């Protein structure tokens, strides 16, 4: 069942590391019954894990119904899809193999449901990149995992907030290896995906995208590195020829310090910290991680497992709530975008009819 056949979308939640703050955040967000006015939530986890954290939040009241079949989802209540039955040790604040194992189990079931169209969107709770590593799961995070699962050539890790959107050219790559991962084709690919996502997912008709430089002062005309001259500028030039409204490369420090990001709809940063440090500093705690380029809609809060405060009931759910409503917004934005392009004369026809009626009234 999809959003096209019901009045509100079905949004899945993967539970993340069971020893982190993910489940606490999900409980806090979904305990507000008003959420049910906007979506049908489905949490992919286990009864006992949810109850464990629910008991540590006595002031929070969460009611849910357990389901094992997506066709049995209750649209008037929070649903818990049981992904495993066995008892497991829950140790809040501890990074261990159990936390990683069941984070992956939840993610696998939830992501497959998204791919199959059984849910309309997916909000992923934080995982830890170290303890999820196994012989069957060798990804550095959600983004490359989802890229592989959906079988697409490229995706963009796009950090979004009301006041900015920042995409990453490279994601979880060691700093000493960043330069070798930068190419003209890769920059163009990311710009194409960002351009399309800004139009379809965020209703921006002609996106204006800034591209940051790799080196200090964007290379100072080749004095401090030649990537800007040899790779980045040619990529921007070619992207413009593909009708992408992009500019740069800009020196990252001055770009953010002088508020230049406010003049653009999005920014392409070349490596993780170049984009994430200003984003987390300036997004006012309401940042969301969105995977652009997937058929399904996936969002996530912009923070990690926070083991240091797990199980203490003090985690701030603001980013998780924003991730949920961003997911819902993007789903509806896509429907509107696609509907207009399936029948591009729809608006014109309505206007012609309206004008004809007006003229008839005037004639009469």
User: What's the angle, vertex CA 216, arms to CA 214 and CA 220, rounded to 5?
Assistant: 100
On the question of a common fold for 1-152+294-364 and 154-285, the answer reads: yes
**Alpha-carbon gap, residue 195 to 266, rounded angstroms:** 9
pLDDT of residue 351: 46
**Alpha-carbon gap, residue 136 to 55, rounded angstroms:** 34
CATH class of 1-152+294-364: alpha beta
Position 72 pLDDT exceeds 90 = no
Q: How far is CA 93 from the centre of its chain?
A: 25
* CATH number of this structure's domain 154-285: 3.40.718.10
pLDDT of residue 346: 56
Position 220 pLDDT exceeds 90 = no
**Alpha-carbon gap, residue 229 to 248, rounded angstroms:** 11
Give the 3-state secondary structure of residue 134: coil
* Stronger pLDDT, 248 or 223, i.e. the higher one: 248
Position 8 pLDDT exceeds 90 = yes
Residue 82 backbone dihedrals phi, psi, to 5 degrees: -75, 115
- List the chain domain ranges: 1-152+294-364, 154-285
Position 58 pLDDT exceeds 90 = no
Q: What is the mean pLDDT of the chain?
A: 91
Angle, helix 233-241 to helix 184-200, in steps of 10 degrees? 50
CB 255 within 8 A of CB 152: no
Position 5 pLDDT exceeds 60 = no
- For residues 224-230, give the mean pLDDT: 92
CB 328 within 8 A of CB 9: yes
Position 163 pLDDT exceeds 70 = yes
pTM: 0.90
Position 361 pLDDT exceeds 50 = no
Of the chain, the percentage scoring pLDDT greater than 90 comes to 83
> From start to end of the chain, where are the E strands?
10-14, 40-45, 64-67, 78-82, 121-124, 156-161, 164-168, 208-212, 245-250, 266-269, 288-292, 297-301
pLDDT of residue 87: 92
- For residues 285-305, give the mean pLDDT: 94
**Alpha-carbon gap, residue 274 to 168, rounded angstroms:** 9
Q: Which helix (H) or strand (E) holds 86?
A: none
């Amino acid at each position: 069942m999809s959003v096209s056949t019901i009045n509100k979308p079905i949004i899945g939640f993967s539970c993340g590391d069971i020893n982190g703050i993910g489940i606490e955040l999900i409980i806090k967000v979904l305990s507000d019954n008003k959420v049910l006015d906007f979506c049908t939530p489905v949490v992919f986890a286990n009864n006992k894990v949810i109850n464990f954290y629910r008991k540590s939040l006595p002031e929070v009241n969460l009611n849910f119904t357990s389901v094992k079949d997506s066709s049995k989802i209750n649209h008037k209540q929070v649903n818990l899809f049981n992904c495993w039955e066995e008892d497991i040790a829950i140790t809040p604040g501890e990074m261990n193999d159990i936390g990683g194992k069941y984070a992956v189990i939840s993610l696998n079931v939830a992501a497959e449901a998204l791919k199959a169209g059984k849910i309309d969107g997916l909000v992923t709770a934080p995982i830890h990149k170290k303890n999820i590593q196994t012989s069957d799961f060798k990804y550095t995070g959600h983004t490359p995992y989802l890229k592989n699962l959906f079988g697409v050539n490229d995706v963009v890790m796009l950090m979004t907030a009301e006041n900015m959107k920042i995409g990453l050219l490279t994601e979880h790559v060691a700093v000493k290896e960043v330069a070798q991962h930068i190419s003209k084709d890769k920059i163009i690919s990311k710009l194409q995906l960002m351009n399309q996502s800004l139009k379809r997912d965020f209703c921006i008709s002609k996106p204006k995208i800034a591209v940051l430089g790799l080196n200090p002062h964007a290379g100072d005309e080749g004095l401090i590195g030649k990537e800007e001259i040899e790779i980045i500028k040619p990529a921007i030039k070619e992207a413009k020829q593909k009708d992408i409204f992009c500019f740069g490369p800009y020196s990252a420090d001055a770009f953010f310090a002088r508020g230049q990001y406010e003049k653009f709809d999005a920014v392409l940063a070349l490596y993780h910290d170049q984009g994430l440090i200003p984003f987390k500093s300036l997004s006012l705690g309401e940042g969301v991680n969105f995977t652009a380029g997937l058929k399904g809609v996936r969002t996530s809060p912009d923070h990690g497992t926070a083991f240091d405060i797990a199980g203490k009931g003090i985690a701030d759910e603001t980013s998780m709530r924003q991730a949920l409503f961003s997911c819902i917004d993007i789903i509806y934005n896509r429907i509107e975008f696609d509907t207009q392009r399936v029948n591009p004369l729809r608006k014109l026809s309505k206007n012609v009819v309206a004008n004809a009626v007006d003229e008839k009234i005037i004639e009469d």
